[in-house]
Amino acid sequence: MVWNIVLEGHVILWVEVTEGFLEWLRPSVRDALVAGIDPYADSVLTAEMQQRWLDELKRIETELQIQASTRIALKKPLPRVPAVRSTVQKTLVERELRNHPQAQKVSELRATLELALESGSTISALGD
């Protein structure tokens, strides 16, 4: 599936959303309309639907950060000084998520949706 971001009749950006990514994402999605997207059908994501996707992706991104932070706290000795500990842990979480392909796709789609909503663009989802 490809999402085309369309502004004034022109595709300004496109992003691929694979079936594998959707399968990985689906168990984490709480919004039934977002979870029900058909990767084989063409559709248009209205501003309301874009916002629903954005809300879900932000929530999932936060959950991924919390999970990474918990793993790091259990595996690595961290500094005892709270401010230093927080900075080190944040850096390690960012590093871990950079190496997580699904987390990268979540971030990419979140940024794409933010751009579409801010610019008043539509998203044309072209099925496989």
- What is the Cα 115 distance to its own chain's centre? 13
Q: What are phi and psi of 20, to 5 degrees?
A: -60, -40
Helical ranges in the chain per DSSP H? 19-25, 32-35, 47-75, 82-98, 101-119
Q: What is the pLDDT of residue 37?
A: 85
pLDDT of residue 123: 93
Q: Is the pTM of this model over 0.85?
A: yes
Question: What confidence score (pLDDT) does residue 112 get?
Answer: 94
Q: What is the mean pLDDT of each run of 10 residues along the chain (128 residues)?
A: 91 91 92 87 92 96 94 89 92 94 95 94 88
- CB–CB of 128/21 below 8 Å? no
What is the predicted pLDDT for the residue at 128? 75
